[in-house]
Amino acid sequence: MTVMGLDSLVEARIERAIERGELSDLPGQGSPLFLDDDTCIAPELRLAHRILKNAGFVPEELELRREITDLSSLIDATAGAERTRAIARRDWLRARLALRGGTGTSLLEHREYAERVARRFERPTRVSG
């Protein structure tokens, strides 16, 4: 099933639930939703990023950026040999991130992630008895 097909299926089920009144009088009805800030993510990649997040997978680019930020804080707070090692590691991570182009590869090219997505969409087998 494609993402568009899944999207259509979800929309149809929501519409049926609304028609049956199953979504009436829910807590928070009429209140604004808190949505993660995904404005920096291209619209065509937002669903993939949400699936990644829900699966507990962090793309390497984000992990590199987090570690660079942590090292920058460490550099500000230390001196001597520890600071020198932190600067060298931060510079190496920055070079690695630059080689990736800052955007990384297709999410499905990561084998671990692709396997997790495939397992998530597998349908449970029915046991007839």
The H-or-E segment that residue 71 falls in is helix 60-77
Note the pLDDT tens digit of each residue in 28-82: 887 877 666 677 677 888 888 888 888 888 777 878 888 888 898 888 888 899 9
Q: pLDDT digit string (tens) for 98-125?
A: 887 754 444 554 566 667 777 777 765 5
The identity of residue 91, as a single letter, is D
Q: Cα(120)–Cα(55) distance, rounded to whole angstroms?
A: 9
The token duo for 95 is 């070079």
Q: Is-contact 78 86, C-beta < 8 A?
A: yes
pTM of the model: 0.41
Domain ranges of the chain: 56-119
